[in-house]
Amino acid sequence: MRLEKIEKETRAFAILPLILGIIFVLLLGGVGLEIVQTKQKISQTISEVQNLQKEKKYEEAIQKLEQIENNFLVKYFGFEKDKIDKVIEENRILIKEAQQKQVKEETEKMEEVTQETQPQILDCKDSLDCLIETAKNCNLARMKDRISLKFGSWEADVLFSAEIKGKENEKCVFYVEAEKLFSIKKEGMTEEEIEKETEKWRPYVEGAKEICLFKNEDLVNWLKIVKEGILPSFEGAECKYHGLEIQKVFQ
């Protein structure tokens, strides 16, 4: 009996490795099958994502990829996770680019609408004649030129800019500025004296500006006097700064 028992136990131990081997093969086969199926799912998902990208459905594409990331092998063993993460990041970049493009298109559209609705300002460049003509109807216009203007016994060489800004209270809104002073002099002055006077008055003249309300015909006459090389007064106009009434400064 004892010998028979020993033989049975020996046979049992002999069979155990075979049983374990079978179990291992089954487990390995199951894992292998899971790997194959997971890989197929990932490939299928990425293919679907590519189609969604063509339709610009990037959010939906990311949701599909995040769902596949919950797969057992991907979540706990990182199976092809880098590949999935890369595609997710690609879609996030596409979302950002799409948003930037949308903002740009909307901005450009708004600018186009603004340009269409806002009156165009005529650029007269350095032509006083152009500005005089537009002043007759108080149309929007601007000009800039280097000119010499006399006031009293003085003469100033300045960069002169002016703009007709439209109407207010049935009057023409006119802006004028002395942007730069090149020289200021009286007849008979030496070059040294001219340079000295120019430096003395530059801080007061450069940047001197005025914004006034003129009747159309008064503005036309004012500009015609400027064309003759004389700085006219602003008498009769409703002005804000009085900064360009240089005559009073040099009296």
Do 103 and 133 lie in one domain? The reply is no
- Asked which of 79, 114, 149 is the last residue of a domain, the reply is 114
170-219 tens-digit pLDDT: 999 999 999 999 999 999 999 999 999 999 989 888 888 889 999 999 99
Q: How far is CA 170 from CA 21, 73, 142, 243, in A?
A: 103, 80, 20, 24
Q: Is 148 within 8 Å of 156 (Cβ atoms)?
A: yes
Q: Is 138 within 8 Å of 122 (Cβ atoms)?
A: no
Q: Residue 2: pLDDT above 90?
A: no
Interstrand relation of 122-123 and 141-151 (parallel, antiparallel or unpaired) = parallel
Do 156 and 227 lie in one domain? The reply is yes
Picking from 113, 100, 164, the residue whose alpha carbon sits closest to that of residue 136 is 164
88-146 tens-digit pLDDT: 888 888 888 887 887 788 777 766 655 555 678 999 999 999 999 999 999 999 999 99
- What is the model's pLDDT at position 193? 96
Do 13 and 48 lie in one domain? The reply is yes
- What is the model's pLDDT at position 198? 95
Do 147 and 94 lie in one domain? The reply is no
Picking from 199, 125, 123, 201, the residue whose alpha carbon sits closest to that of residue 160 is 125
212-244 tens-digit pLDDT: 999 999 999 999 999 999 998 888 888 886 656
Do 176 and 98 lie in one domain? The reply is no
Domain count, the chain: 2
Q: How far apart are CA 120 and CA 50, in angstroms?
A: 47
Do 128 and 73 lie in one domain? The reply is no
Q: How far is CA 108 from CA 117, 120, 186, in A?
A: 14, 18, 53
Q: Is 197 within 8 Å of 167 (Cβ atoms)?
A: no
Span 149-173, average pLDDT: 93
Do 76 and 173 lie in one domain? The reply is no
Q: Residue 19: pLDDT above 60?
A: no
In which band, very low, low, confident or very high, does the pLDDT at 28 lie, cut at 50, 70 and 90? very low
- Asked which of 93, 114, 135 is the last residue of a domain, the reply is 114
Degrees (nearest 5) of the Cα angle 178, 184, 187? 140
- What is the model's pLDDT at position 243? 58
Do 132 and 212 lie in one domain? The reply is yes
Higher pLDDT, 116 or 161: 161
Strand order, beta sheet including 208-214:
122-123, 141-151, 154-168, 171-186, 208-214, 238-239
In angstroms, how far is the first alpha carbon of the chain from the final one? Answer: 144
Q: b/e per residue, 88-99, with b = 16+ CB within 10 A?
A: bebbeeeeeeee
Q: How far apart are CA 108 and CA 66, in angstroms?
A: 36
In which band, very low, low, confident or very high, does the pLDDT at 15 lie, cut at 50, 70 and 90? low
Span 21-31, average pLDDT: 47
- Asked which of 114, 143, 175 is the last residue of a domain, the reply is 114
Model pTM score: 0.54
Based on C-alpha coordinates, what's the Rg of the chain?
43
In which band, very low, low, confident or very high, does the pLDDT at 25 lie, cut at 50, 70 and 90? very low
Strand partners, 154: 151, 186
Do 87 and 9 lie in one domain? The reply is yes
Do 12 and 33 lie in one domain? The reply is yes
Strands (E) located in 30-188: 122-123, 141-151, 154-168, 171-186
- What is the model's pLDDT at position 164? 96
Helix-strand-coil percent breakdown of the chain, rounded to 5? 60, 20, 20
Domain span at residue 42 reads 2-114
Q: Residue 163: pLDDT above 90?
A: yes
Span 20-43, average pLDDT: 61
Q: Residue 162: pLDDT above 80?
A: yes
The secondary element (H helix, E strand) that includes residue 208 is: strand 208-214
In which band, very low, low, confident or very high, does the pLDDT at 247 lie, cut at 50, 70 and 90? low
Do 61 and 146 lie in one domain? The reply is no
Which of 55-59, 76-80, 209-213, 243-247: highest mean pLDDT? 209-213
Do 146 and 67 lie in one domain? The reply is no
